[in-house]
Amino acid sequence: MDKFSYRFTSMFRPEKGVYIDCFINNIYINYLILRRTSNLAVRFNFTGTVMFPKKDAKRPFVKEMEKNGRKMLSMNFGIKESDNNMAFVEAFDGEQETIKSKNADNENIEIKWKDRFDDDVVSSVASYRKTTIDLGEEFDGRHEFVTLYDAIKYLQENLPKYTGKVTITGQMVKEPYNGKYYDKFKIQSVYAVADDKKNRLLITADIYYNKDSIDKTDWKTEKKIIVDGYIQQYINKDEGNKFIPQQFVFNASKYDENNEKHKKLLDYKMKYIDISKKTMQHLLWECVMLNGAETVEFDESQLTKAQKEQIELGIRTLNDFRPAGSIFGDRVTEYRLFDPKLTGDFADGIVDADMSVSEFEDEIYVMASDENMDDVMKKAEKKDEPKVEEEETKTDSEPEVDEDDLF
């Protein structure tokens, strides 16, 4: 099968009870990936209401662990965009004798654990290597942390007391497990926002695609285009940066063809989506994440045969059968193309990747069917890594967070 025609559909969360990672090893490995991929990262910006797991959840709000005498913390909670759309964010870190970081000039620096709260030390660290939290004046405003460990402790104490809306930003990491990728959203900042700010689950990604990536099968009937694209991600020291399949959707079902502005917007977006070049192109896109059931319009297709007969005879109207509440469609996980971000290298629009199809194919990461993130990292050389990476942790696997745990 042509790699560019391959449709990547394994973006759904795993079923209950499916173990997807070795808990301590893999979330720490993802932390290491985040430290290396600031330029390639798929960014997320989630605005909504915080939803905490139940106290007895298998993946609780905060889990305390210990490894070789060192304390470690993991954090997990939901961001509710609406009653039927939610994303899950997480963080992990542990105590360290020496913190490896970067300064404002992007130079390597080392910070002693006891010095991590020193104002001069904190200000010397590059902003992208710090975790920033601002829950408002009631919580003393802005706080910057050079370790996620301390950020987790701060959120553990204060986030349950906060009652407003938040915006959380960070990086999306695709984690392999048994032939599939699972999306992890790693926290880098948490901000209080006004209650009138629009809830939205946004993803910003540099997407690679060509004409063979575009599937218009459902365009005439559903006004939907599937883009089987690729994103770049750091794999390990040996593999470096590779391309990973990621499916996106352009849904134009809400565009009104009789609305002139809608028509112009549709034409504008289509010129960046329905491309004709065989060589790989790429463009920075802002996408909306849908992780739940979408609200659908009520129409006659949802009526029974008997109800339709009453309407035909004039006994009832469609409104007589209209449900009192919202109607939801099937549950889906989709990244919907929203708007191209024409900034930086993309100021003039879509950019040629300067790679032949065969060259691009060589850079696509191919994982083993039974591979997980722990296996990926073990393939790499371990020199120059923190000691914790060299130590194998034997723990029971943890299941993916269950949505039922968030209420």
Note the pLDDT of residue 20.
35
pLDDT at 333 (0 to 100): 87
Q: Which residue has the tokens 């910003």?
A: 204
- Determine the structural domain holding residue 219 and report its residue range: 19-96+147-384
Alpha-carbon gap, residue 74 to 60, rounded angstroms: 9
End-to-end CA distance of the chain: 43
Residues of the chain with pLDDT under 50: 1-38, 377, 380-407
Report the pLDDT value the prediction gives residue 327, as an integer from 0 to 100. Answer: 53
In a domain, 101, yes or no: no
Identify whether 8 is part of a domain: no
Question: Does any domain span residue 9?
Answer: no
Express each pLDDT in 282-306 by its tens digit.
999 999 999 865 566 767 777 788 8
Question: Residue type at 328?
Answer: F
Tell me whether residue 352 is in a domain.
Answer: yes
| Cα separation values, 369 from 173, 176, 178, 214, Å | 19, 9, 5, 26
Residue 393 lies in a domain: no
Tell me if 105 is assigned to some domain. Answer: no
116 belongs to a structural domain: no
Torsion region of 189: left, alpha or beta (phi above 0 gives left; psi -120 to 50 gives alpha):
beta
Q: Is residue 282 part of a domain?
A: yes
| Residue 120: CB atoms within 10 Å | 7
For residue 206, the model assigns a pLDDT of 97
- Tell me the pTM: 0.76
Closest alpha carbon to 131 in 97, 90, 165, 164? 90
pLDDT reported for residue 179:
81
What pLDDT score does 375 carry? 58
Look at the chain and report how many structural domains it folds into: 1
